[in-house]
Amino acid sequence: MKFWKMNGAGNSFVIFDDRKGGLGLAPEQVAAIADPKTGVGADQVIAMEQTLRGDVFMRIWNRDGSSAEACGNATRCVAWLVMEETGKDKLVIETVAGKLKADRIAPDSRGMARIAVDMGSPLLKWEEIPLAERMDTRGIDLKIGPIDSPYLQLPGAVNMGNPHVVFFVPDLDTVDVKAVGSLVEWHPLFPQGVNVGFLQVLSRTETRLRTWERNVGLTLACGSNNCAAIVAAARRGLTDRKALVHNDGGDIEIEWSDVTDHVIMTGPIELEYVSEV
């Protein structure tokens, strides 16, 4: 089977073209492909499928073979592939979480291709995240560390097609992302699990983020978590509604429109190679 190995700001993908059908990947096959020891190695495995409601349908599996609702960085990669194939500069990509509009943007200063994706409106009600109980999602009642002196607390909660919490930290380098992320990922407060972000605010328009992704683990970037982070920060008055996010794998620009309420994510994509498994 032919595949494209791509990444968006370091978030890596194996992408298959299943628009003619017949791919039929089972969860254990996905896990084997995503595992660098048994396959190619990737954060997610993607299948492009036919759709009558857009230009392409994007099916997403996590590294462990479980299904995912949305993936912003993968959306940019799939959009670029279809744009290169069709010559279009605008596309509609359908996902389990809904339709996403993608636009080709001018390359960055290094000549790297960039794609902007309209990720839609964030869901902010406690039952939309979803949470197990009613809370103010600007700062939910979740504490990490000693009860009388927690070192992390009151993360913001946002659903960007999938659930996210974002902790605001003064120094990202002092946070054990793996330990805290794995602890929070399947906390009883999150019946569907949750993606865990750790955001350091550098200024009103610049931030730094690290992400522990649900069913994946530590990633170099997570597009939907970048969106959730800036929405959560803006709701707390910590940043403007448009800000740059520095990820371990690259920079992503996020703008939460105060007109449409939609979140626009703009970032780089890279085709690493094309091969077969």
Q: Strand, coil or helix: what is 241?
A: coil
- Strands, DSSP E only, in the chain? 2-8, 11-17, 44-49, 56-62, 67-68, 90-95, 98-105, 114-118, 143-144, 152-153, 156-159, 163-168, 195-203, 206-213, 217-219, 242-247, 250-256, 263-268, 270-276
Residue 227 is encoded by which pair of tokens? 């969106």
Q: How many angstroms separate the CA atoms of 13 and 34, rounded?
A: 8
- What's the rounded Cα separation, in Å, for the pair 33 and 190? 28
pLDDT in tens, 116-137: 999 999 999 999 999 999 999 9
Q: What is the pLDDT of residues 63-103, one digit of tens each?
A: 999 999 889 999 999 999 999 999 999 999 999 988 999 99
Under the banding of pLDDT at 50, 70 and 90, the label for residue 24 is confident
What pLDDT score was predicted for residue 55? 96
Cis check for the bond before 130: say yes or no (omega within 30 of 0): yes
Q: What is the pLDDT of residue 73?
A: 96
Predicted pLDDT at 110: 84
pLDDT at 277 over 80: no
* pLDDT tens digits along 143-160: 999 988 899 999 999 999
Mean per-residue pLDDT of the chain:
95
pLDDT tens-digit map of 229-248: 999 999 999 999 999 999 99
Residue 221, pLDDT score:
96
- From 71, 113, 209, 229, the catalytic residue: 71
pLDDT interval class at 40 (50, 70, 90) = very high
pLDDT at 220: 96
Which is the catalytic residue, given 25, 142, 222, 233?
A: 222
For the stretch 160-179, pLDDT in tens is: 999 999 999 999 999 999 99
Which pair of structure tokens corresponds to residue 124? 């902010």
Residue-level pLDDT at 111:
84
77 in catalytic set: no
Confidence at residue 147, expressed as pLDDT on a 0 to 100 scale: 87
Label residue 272 by pLDDT band (50, 70, 90): very high
Q: What is the mean pLDDT of residues 12-30?
A: 93
98 φψ region: left (φ > 0), alpha (ψ -120 to 50), beta (else): left
Quote the pLDDT of residue 1: 80
Which residue in the block uniquely carries the two structure tokens 């299948």?
Answer: 47
What domains are defined for the chain?
2-119+268-276 (3.10.310.10), 126-259 (3.10.310.10)
How far, in Å, CA of 89 to CA of 82, rounded? Answer: 9
Q: Which two tokens stand for residue 27?
A: 């969860």
Are residues 165 and 140 in contact, defined by beta-carbon separation less than 8 angstroms?
A: yes
Q: What is the pTM of this model?
A: 0.94
